[in-house]
Amino acid sequence: MSRKLIAEMIGTFWLVLGGCGTAILAGNQVGILGVSAAFGLAVLTGAFALGHISGAHFNPAVSVGLWVGGRFRGRDVVPYIVAQGAGAILAASVLYVVAQGYPDFLIEPQAPGAFASNGYGALSPDGYALPAAFLVEALLTASFVLVIMAATRPRPDVPSDFAPLIIGLALTLIHLVSIPVTNTSVNPARSSGMALFAGAGVLSQLWLFWAAPLLGGAIGGATYRVISLD
């Protein structure tokens, strides 16, 4: 496995461990604000540590979006997605083992957000229907990719080290908006890792958390490519 793929696996592991781990292990203490901040901090620190190696995608939708936007080679998309998926599954497995150390730990398969999973309808935190969930996931992923492409574009007036901060703040904002709707995915790898432990109901809805973010990522990449001066 190449250095880039190892970095993507580690970075996605860190993102899921930090974000979903906060939701599972400390969600009752920190609430939506804390969980949103955790995801933002996870991507900020991961991008700062590993961005110079792999570009710090940590998300299949970002890889697809950067490819559509002309910033990433098409032949690397699938290997990146495989590495990201492996990192997410590994993080979910670690969280499952850790959570079992709590005496009252229980995954309720039909409960919204069970094991930090994503869902719509009965599995949405606030009961949002499929169309609303799809729209939010696609639109916010498109916006996220657009921000990433803008933040990583070389500019003489902005230090390159600012990019992880901008991207982390964007992901924090995305979670503040969408946790009540879908428990926030915008990342198929993150959704898949947690779904493996959350039950059949969550797995049956996993298609949306691939389709909407991938579509949104492609839209975001294409939009930035059209409007930018790159």
Helix (H, G, I), strand (E, B) or coil at 59: coil
Instruction: Give the phi and the psi of residue 109 in degrees, each rounded to 5.
Output: -55, -30
> Looking at the predicted structure, is the pLDDT value of residue 230 above 70?
no
Nearest one of 204, 182, 188, 194 to 128, comparing CA atoms: 182
Token code pair at residue 41: 């901090």
Instruction: Please state the separation of Cα 186 from the chain's center in Å.
Output: 5
Q: Taking the model in full, what pTM does it have?
A: 0.95
Task: Tell me the HSE value of 90 on the side-chain side, using a 13 A CA sphere.
Answer: 15
Per-residue pLDDT reduced to its tens digit, 168-181:
999 999 999 999 99
| Per-residue model confidence as pLDDT tens digits over 54-106 | 999 999 999 999 999 999 999 999 999 999 999 999 999 999 999 999 888 87
Q: How far apart are CA 87 and CA 67, in angstroms?
A: 21
- Average pLDDT over every residue of 11-23: 98
Higher pLDDT, 160 or 12: 12
d(CA 57, CA 191): 15
Average pLDDT estimate for 130-143 = 98
Question: What is residue 109's predicted lDDT score, i.e. its pLDDT?
Answer: 79
Predicted confidence at residue 162, as pLDDT, reads: 87
The mean per-residue pLDDT over the stretch 22-40 comes to 96
Q: Mean pLDDT throughout 199-209?
A: 96
